[in-house]
Structure 1
Amino acid sequence: MDHYTVGKTVDQVSDVLWSRLSSKHLTVPDHDRFLHIATKFQERWNFPNVIGCIDGKHIRIKCPPKAGSLFYNYKEFFSIVLKGVADSECRFIFIDVGAYGKQSDGGTFSASTLYHFLEDSESTLRKPASFERSGTEMPFIILGDEAYRLKTYLMKPFARKNLSYEERVFNYRLSRARRCIECAFGILTAKWRLLNKAIETKVQKAEGIVRCICLLQNIIIDLEGKTHDPSVQETLRIRGSRHANTNVSCSSFSQFSKGAMDIRNAFKEYFNGPAAAIPSQNLCAGC
């Protein structure tokens, strides 16, 4: 079979899989599904009201004609960006594929359809169930790293130097819960080895392949009813402590709304209270 036929077949299969199965296995959750995801995050990662963790991954591609510099990233290879949000079981609940490799995580997020969805849905996301903080209701949130801007719906680590004990606890708990998105990307590259080298197609075709791979990963998780064995999960919990005390790069706090900072402080107080503290946070935040 010649290269043209193979390429055409891959395109057709990718299109059919996405059009027929994405609505079932990779669609934006409704409010009830958000509640279910938040419950699972609390059970597995001890972090309430979380509906997903966000991160980006550079997908290698061959140099596109006449636009190479746009796709050349800081890691010194050509790429498109896969922006993903994963639930507590390392299942993608949202993906955005195709941003230029040269863009930062924060830049690709603000240009993504996910960003506009969250901005449009903010009023809805502020009406979840309450958690044990004197019955106070808190919004649904997603968890990001220091590359993202603090929002009422997006929590990131405290970025100041000389963090207090309470702030280190919060950073640890956030880092610990965020391992699920890193695990999701890890499973993706381990299972689909095409992603370990450059995808040698046109950019548009590469985007379709990546979307289809994410969909297939969700289908496998849905059919098998599991993501990874407990030993891997426990390893992730232990590894999470390595990142908790990092003084992440400082950002201007003037860009954050008071509402977003109040919400982060509320979570900080909650994690440092007797109702939510876990033994591992004392070991990490105290070092």
Structure 2
Amino acid sequence: MPDNPDEWRTMAERFGRKWNFHHACGAIDGKHIAIKEPHKSESLYHNYKGFFSIILLAVVDPDYKFVWVDVGANGSASDCGVFNQCSLFDGLENNTLGFQALEPLPDDDRPLPYFFIVDDAFPLRSWMMELFSARGLAHKDREFNYHLSRA
């Protein structure tokens, strides 16, 4: 996991080269890992998909390699709920991870934040980027969604 601005910038440059999506410093998502029903767990580990699970929440680099993982949260929790309780969230909120400051995109002069790519399970923050809602999108917004999804 990067821990200083130069390493975050390098990660973002790799996303830019590979996926043509600049300022991305990783993609965050959760995955339900199926487990046997724990003894006396009631619904704590029963997820919205209808099975018992624990949650693996991860950040991946542009080559799909894990750079940060939190595993073991109960399956009834949401990705965002798990994220809000993890050390990565605290580090981003408190700016203790050495996350990259505002800089212009290539061939631009307006400073923009670096960010993580997330799905709609997460709220927007200055350091999170998610898709536009799919309803009634203009062409440029659909194109943005396509590129963000690829990245």
| TM-score normalised by structure 2 residue count | 0.90
- Alignment identity in percent? 38
Q: Which residue pairs with 1:76 in the alignment?
A: 50
Amino acid in the other structure paired with 2:121: A
What is the match of residue 67 of structure 2?
Answer: 93
Task: Specify the alignment match of 2:142 in structure 1.
Answer: 168
More strand as a share of residues: 2
Q: Does 1:120 align with 2:94?
A: yes
Structure 1 unpaired stretches of 5+ = 1-26, 178-287
Larger radius of gyration: 1
Among 98, 105, 115, the alignment partner of 1:141 is: 115
Task: Give the letter aligned to residue 135 of structure 1.
Answer: D
Pair 1:48 & 2:22 matched:
yes
**Pairing of 1:1-287 with structure 2 (within 5 A):** 27-121=1-95, 125=99, 127-132=101-106, 134-159=108-133, 161-177=135-151
| C-alpha deviation, 1:112, in angstroms | 2.1
Give the whole-Å Cα distance in 2 for the aligned partners of 1:130 and 1:120.
Answer: 23
Using a 3 Å threshold, how does the CA distance of structure 1 residues 33 and 176 change in structure 2: closer, same or farther? same
Q: Secondary structure at the match of 1:51?
A: strand
Q: Which has the higher helix share?
A: 1
Structure 2 residue identity aligned to 1:46: N
CA distance in structure 2 between the partners assigned to 1:152 and 1:68 by the alignment: 38
Q: 2-side partners of 1:28 and 1:113: how far apart?
A: 14
Q: Secondary structure at the match of 1:59?
A: strand
**Which ranges in structure 2 are unaligned for 5 or more consecutive residues?**
none
Amino acid at match of 1:34: W
Per-residue displacement from partner, 1:67-121 (whole Å, max 9, x unpaired)? Answer: 2411011222111100000010111111111211011222222222221121112
Partner Cα separation in structure 2 for residue 150 and residue 133 of structure 1: 25
One-letter amino acid of the structure 1 residue matched with residue 47 of structure 2: N
- How far does residue 169 in structure 1 lie from its aligned partner after superposition? 1.3
3-state SS in 2 of match to 1:39? helix
